[in-house]
Amino acid sequence: MRFISVISLLFGSWLALPAVAAEAQDWLERLADAGQSQSFQGVFVYERNGSFSTHSIWHRVDEAGGVRERLLQLDGPEQEVLRVDGRTKCVSGNLADQIGDLEAWSARDLNAQRLLESYDLRVIGKSRVAGRAAVVLALSPRDQHRYGVELHLDQESALPLKSLLLNDKGQLLERFQFTRLDVGAVPTDEQLQSGDGCRPVTASKAQAEVVEAWRSDWLPPGFTLSRVVERRSPASNEQVACLVYDDGLARFSVFLEPLRGVMVEDARSQLGPTAAVSRRLVTDDGDVMVTVVGEIPLGTAERIALSMRALEGQAIQ
């Protein structure tokens, strides 16, 4: 299938732009509310880096507004994720790594006004996904520091039926797409019960001292620090400090790992939409490996890594 660049679609009708933009914002607001107000279940496919996986999802909203959700991979080893009110409670295998940080892209956190600072937003047409009528939204980046997104929202419920992550040439980097969606189908307690292999997840703790010890000389426009946590380093598998930034849609993480005399080389890689850049930074308290990982262009990740600075005498120990 040939994917048309969402950027080129923005030049269709300048006279209609204000009305279309308002319509698109209305759909985003409906999307933000959809998952918090409706129960559903279905099956979706996930495509990334040329590989496919299939998943079942059960999503239940109770009378008090609480949300419980279970994801189960149907290909290969049985892997799953259980979330309650947006927080991951348990995970098995590497499913969470395959479908991304589920807590980072939450539709309920979408803010149309904030997104308009970094993306051009409009409705570009209609489609049909999983046998359901959909409206298609394009979020096209205003600069080279983020990717474009095409969202196909269910006309009845505003739930996302399909999303495509596209580079500046309109090439597909990542796809999420339902093959079956039953809106209003309330999952049972049994369907929402995790398996024995689902391991509890301990909430990451915030580290305010990390924010006080580090600064960035440059960030892509629109990105702000959203949280500070401890996460597993992509370089050594140790728990290290991590700064998470987002623009309301895209996200990247900056890992700060004391090297303690270990010799490592700078590195850079791009796997599908995910860029990873590591560089050694000399501080008064010893060398630190700065690693930037996120669904941003490689050049942007490199510039962020080069911009990180440890405040004098304040680097992490």
Query: Is residue 12 helix, strand or coil?
Result: coil
Query: Which residues are paired to 88 by β-bridges?
Result: 83
Cα–Cα–Cα angle for 39, 41, 43, rounded to 5 degrees: 150
How far is it, in rounded angstroms, from Cα 22 to Cα 218?
32
**Would you state the structure tokens that stand for residue 98, as one six-digit string?**
């395959």
Give the right CATH number for 208-310 from 1.10.287.3510, 3.30.200.100, 3.40.50.300, 3.30.1950.10.
3.30.200.100
**Location of structure tokens 């039926």:** 161
Q: How confident is the model at residue 2 (pLDDT cuts 50, 70, 90)?
A: very low
Answer whether CATH 2.60.120.10 is correct for domain 8-200: no
> How much is the pLDDT for 14?
36
Contact 273, 295 (CB under 8 A): yes
The identity of residue 225, as a single letter, is: L
Domain ranges of the chain: 8-200, 208-310
How far is it, in rounded angstroms, from Cα 196 to Cα 112?
40
pLDDT per residue as tens digits for the range 211-248? 678 889 999 999 999 888 887 787 777 778 889 999 99
Contact 201, 91 (CB under 8 A): yes
- Say how many C-beta atoms besides its own lie within 10 A of residue 50's C-beta: 6
pLDDT per residue as tens digits for the range 7-64? 333 333 333 344 557 899 899 999 989 988 999 999 999 998 888 999 999 999 999 8
**28 alpha-carbon distance from chain centroid:** 16
Contact 222, 247 (CB under 8 A): yes
How far is it, in rounded angstroms, from Cα 134 to Cα 160?
9
